[in-house]
Structure 1
């Protein structure tokens, strides 16, 4: 399906398949963010350790580092719709198990870590197919709008999910966050099963050649290569900040589970506003400039958050951090996808996912250890400073 590029707000919603898929994704993603908030609270309740919060974030994202490049090869070899139906169905099982274990009071932190790793493994195969499936549904002309709307749904759920989780934990109990998440994947499976779509077919080579072809494209494209290097630094030292929100909610601001929901919801609100801004604008002519501005704002917000003792100011700073991070990543996503040939999209987007998500476990492990020795606020200042340095280097290279 190829259409002329549309700059109307939310134009991708005119495509029936995408409209239903996005609706189901909103339900599923809200459940996922409920799960993430509840999981962090459960781990901190079991251990009272920032180190284990780092471990939990790391084991969830570690499979992306290990498996997502292979997921990109699968996305270019097999029908993406079939891959997504399989991964979404499997995604029901881990939160269901975690909910049952928690409900029966037979959970330890080690079961949480194992289940998080299983969920991350399924996600690592799902991500490349899901990202490159957008163009199969809407065509190149609606791609930018679809990416922005998809990002808006993700971060809208990021805003709403933790707030719901905080309310549920305080009222009926933590296990129900996991059980609801398990149910939230069912609408996605149902929508995919009913979807009629003509997917592009490719002639696969051997796996090694497929890997080489994707990497060769990136290595020979200077603008994409430089952008990915900066995102890698942000992924290691900036992206894991959400994993440490239970510490700030409980020990710094003393606001409990509801405070955790508000802190995580603050970042989600900023992220949602950023995605909606991109969706309404339709396109950004100077994408590199937009990325550069966002790359400076995020680390400044992160450092300021670590220094404040005011809860409301902290929420506002997380909104700024969420806005700038999504502005950077969503614009980079669209910039890269529009430069990639159709037959390489799955592999190149798997490298993008490998960089901006797969590096997170390295940061989570490292920052968790650092927080144990110097304190979580000092660790945040250190991380923000390194991201600021990376943004400065990228700015200087842009003007070489």
Structure 2
């Protein structure tokens, strides 16, 4: 009977994607699903909605975005350095606890009727600051839960979460805001942050030697490592363009809801959901790629098509075509996932454990610029309209992606799985070989 029991679970385990066959990665994945849902509820919907309800000013959405982005930009590299020197799972746990506490405080302010603009800005700044610890540390954690040959699949599985909660997060937040209250959405977010931090703190990670030496030299070494490999610099340039110019539509959604499409919180949540549904489809494609498939070409093609999709979204919304806008966002979400997930997979597949925190800290700086897209998006939307702001950013994404496609055969020809010889060429720092980690079970 015991053998039958083991046989059943053994067969069930083989059905799972390869990265999900690692028990510790499964725990991480489930906790991350909860935490990212809360993250998307808060930053992609609830805080922007609350700010626009308070003031009705588009520029205040710009200030909110800057309050999130600027601390993350300044502290991400330091966060990556700490992730290389200390145990990153405890940094993640601490960051999530601080985020949960400050969001619960903001929810209390809303509940008591005492919320003001400065409460939102302080909360945004605190969350942006602790994200600088959280993002590179999480990248260091999950890469040590699976073997190197399964990292691309692990990246795809993590991306499924981020893309799935584009549906769930804003949709849940929209329903809670419209049918219950704003503070209910915020308290739910705080609970999910506590769950993620608690689970990550008890994970068992593959051993790796911590970075040692003078801190400033280690930071400089991380920057020099990225500069020494043009493929990393170009991936980060693509992500910079995505964050700075391709994400304004997300933060302008309250404006699209109230002034362009004339819909409520629940319907704008469905637009976010359309993007997330498409992104899941794109991530599933990444997860199914074979070793010889051209990851770099797929990534660059996805970037170009993403820009085209944003142009079409701007056109459809300017004509108040709600259903057409939703359909366009499904396709746009799919190609965006190819673009972003492909870049993360390439980085995680090539960067050695000993410097991963610093490299992912630099990458996180480019990713953290998303809210700062309102620095151009807010004024352009104020002067010419939200659709025009989105179209302007889309044009920049297309131009940069085409330029890299033409100029970089190295990135263009990068396959899904590189040879050991290629991976070894990125091992610039002499260290003892880290353990290979537990086998899937």
TM range (shorter): over 0.9
1:90-109 to structure 2, matched below 5 A, reads: 90-109=98-117
Which residue of structure 2 lines up, in the alignment, with residue 22 of structure 1?
Answer: 29
- Asked if residue 360 in structure 1 is aligned to residue 370 in structure 2, the reply is yes
- In structure 2, do the counterparts of structure 1 residues 155 and 355 end up closer, same or farther at CA, with 3 Å as the change threshold? same
The match for 1:389 among 399, 402, 418 is: 399
> Using the alignment, how far apart are the partners of 2:144 and 2:35 within structure 1?
21
Give the deviation of 1:283 after TM superposition. 5.2
The match for 1:133 among 133, 136, 141 is: 141
Which residue of structure 1 lines up, in the alignment, with residue 325 of structure 2?
Answer: 314
Cα deviation, 1:154-177, whole Å, max 9, x if unaligned, reads 221121111111111121111100
> Does structure 1 retain, via aligned residues, the 8 Å contact 2:62–2:374?
yes
Cα deviation, 1:24-71, whole Å, max 9, x if unaligned, reads 111121122222312121111112222222222222122221100000
> Using the alignment, how far apart are the partners of 1:372 and 1:391 within structure 2?
28
> Using the alignment, how far apart are the partners of 2:337 and 2:222 within structure 1?
25
Which stretch of structure 1 is more off in the superposition, 301-310 or 132-141? 132-141
Give the deviation of 1:133 after TM superposition. 1.1
- Asked if residue 291 in structure 1 is aligned to residue 299 in structure 2, the reply is yes
The match for 2:51 among 43, 52, 64 is: 43
The match for 2:379 among 354, 369, 377 is: 369
- For the residue of structure 1 that corresponds to 2:142, the secondary structure is helix
The match for 1:156 among 150, 164, 168 is: 164
- For the residue of structure 2 that corresponds to 1:92, the secondary structure is helix
Give the deviation of 1:121 after TM superposition. 0.8
Which stretch of structure 1 is more off in the superposition, 7-16 or 223-232? 7-16
> Does structure 2 retain, via aligned residues, the 8 Å contact 1:144–1:282?
no
> Does structure 1 retain, via aligned residues, the 8 Å contact 2:248–2:390?
no
1:1-400 to structure 2, matched below 5 A, reads: 10-36=17-43, 37-281=45-289, 285-308=293-316, 309-357=320-368, 359-398=369-408
- In structure 2, do the counterparts of structure 1 residues 166 and 284 end up closer, same or farther at CA, with 3 Å as the change threshold? farther
Cα deviation, 1:109-137, whole Å, max 9, x if unaligned, reads 22111111111111111100101211211
Gaps of 5+ in 1: 1-6
How many residue pairs were aligned?
A: 393
> Does structure 2 retain, via aligned residues, the 8 Å contact 1:237–1:363?
yes
- For the residue of structure 1 that corresponds to 2:105, the secondary structure is helix
Which stretch of structure 1 is more off in the superposition, 384-393 or 49-58? 49-58
Give the deviation of 1:294 after TM superposition. 0.4
> Using the alignment, how far apart are the partners of 2:154 and 2:21 within structure 1?
11
- For the residue of structure 2 that corresponds to 1:231, the secondary structure is helix
- For the residue of structure 1 that corresponds to 2:350, the secondary structure is coil
Which stretch of structure 1 is more off in the superposition, 229-238 or 60-69? 229-238
> Using the alignment, how far apart are the partners of 2:86 and 2:303 within structure 1?
36
Q: Which structure has the larger Rg?
A: 2
* Aligned-residue RMSD, C-alpha: 1.9
> Using the alignment, how far apart are the partners of 1:92 and 1:229 within structure 2?
32
- In structure 2, do the counterparts of structure 1 residues 192 and 339 end up closer, same or farther at CA, with 3 Å as the change threshold? closer
Gaps of 5+ in 2: 1-13, 411-441
> Does structure 1 retain, via aligned residues, the 8 Å contact 2:141–2:205?
no
> Using the alignment, how far apart are the partners of 2:106 and 2:290 within structure 1?
40
